[in-house]
A and B are shown apart, each in its own frame.
Chain A
Amino acid sequence: MSGIVDLASDAGLSWLGGASSVAPRYDLLFAAMVLLCGTVALGVLVAIVAFSIRYRAGAGRGDAAAGRRTRAIEIAWTVTPLVIFIGLFVWAAHDFVALYRPPADALPVYVVAKQWMWKLQHRNGRREINELHVPLGQPVRLLMTSQDAIHSFFVPAFRLKQDVVPGRYTGLWFTATKLGEFRLFCAEYCGTEHSQMLGRIVVLPPAEYARWLGSGSEQPSLAQYGFARFRALGCSGCHDPASTVHAPSLEGLLGRTVHLQDGRTLVADENYVRDSILVPGKDVVAGFAPVMPSFAGQVSEEDIQALVAYLRSTGAPAPGDPQGARR
Chain B
Amino acid sequence: MKHACLRDHARALAVAWAALLALMLASLGSAYLRLGAGNAAVGLAIAVIKSAIVVWLFMRLRTSSATVRIVAATALATLLLLIGLASVDYATRPVEPAAYELPRQTPSLAGARPVQGAR
Contacts and interface: CB of A to CB of B under 8 A. Distances in A.
Nearest to B104: A298
Contacts of B97: 167-169
A238 interface: yes
A219 interface: no
A295 interface: yes
Contact of B96 (A169, A291, A293): A169
A238 B97 CA distance: 35
Given A147-B101, A148-B103, A298-B104, A238 B96 contact: no
**Interface majority SS on B: helix, strand, loop or mixed?**
loop
Contacts of A145: 98-100
Contact of B95 (A168, A233, A237): A168
Nearest to B95: A168
Contacts of B100: 145, 147, 166-167
B107 interface: yes
Contacts of B98: 145, 166-169
Interface string B67-103: 0000000000000000000000000000111111101
B101 A293 contact: no
B53 to A, nearest CB: 42
A293 B103 contact: no
Interface string A289-302: 00101010010000
Contacts of B106: 233-234, 237, 293, 295, 298
Nearest to A298: B104
A293 B95 CA distance: 39
Nearest to A235: B106
Nearest to B106: A234
A269 to B, nearest CB: 24
Interface in A166-207: 166-170
B33 interface: no
A295 B103 CA distance: 14
B109 interface: yes
A257 B103 CA distance: 36
Contacts, number: 32
A34 interface: no
Interface string A258-298: 00000000000000000000000000000000010101001
B31 to A, nearest CB: 31
A245 B103 CA distance: 23
A7 to B, nearest CB: 32
Given A168-B96, A168-B98, A169-B98, A291 B109 contact: yes
Interface in A294-327: 295, 298
Contacts of B109: 238, 245, 291, 293
Contacts of A170: 96
B99 to A, nearest CB: 8
Interface in A207-240: 233-234, 237-238
Contacts of B107: 293
Nearest to A167: B100
Interface string A8-41: 0000000000000000000000000000000000
A148 B116 CA distance: 13
Contacts of B104: 298
Contacts of B103: 147-148
A145 B98 CA distance: 7
A268 B98 CA distance: 41
Given A145-B98, A170-B96, A295-B106, 17 more contacts: A145-B99, A145-B100, A147-B100, A147-B101, A147-B103, A148-B103, A166-B98, A167-B98, A167-B100, A168-B96, A168-B98, A169-B98, A234-B106, A238-B109, A293-B106, A293-B107, A298-B104
10 contacts: A147-B103, A168-B95, A169-B96, A170-B96, A233-B106, A234-B106, A291-B109, A295-B106, A298-B104, A298-B106
List 4 tightest A-B contacts by C-beta distance, closest first: A145-B98, A234-B106, A169-B96, A293-B107
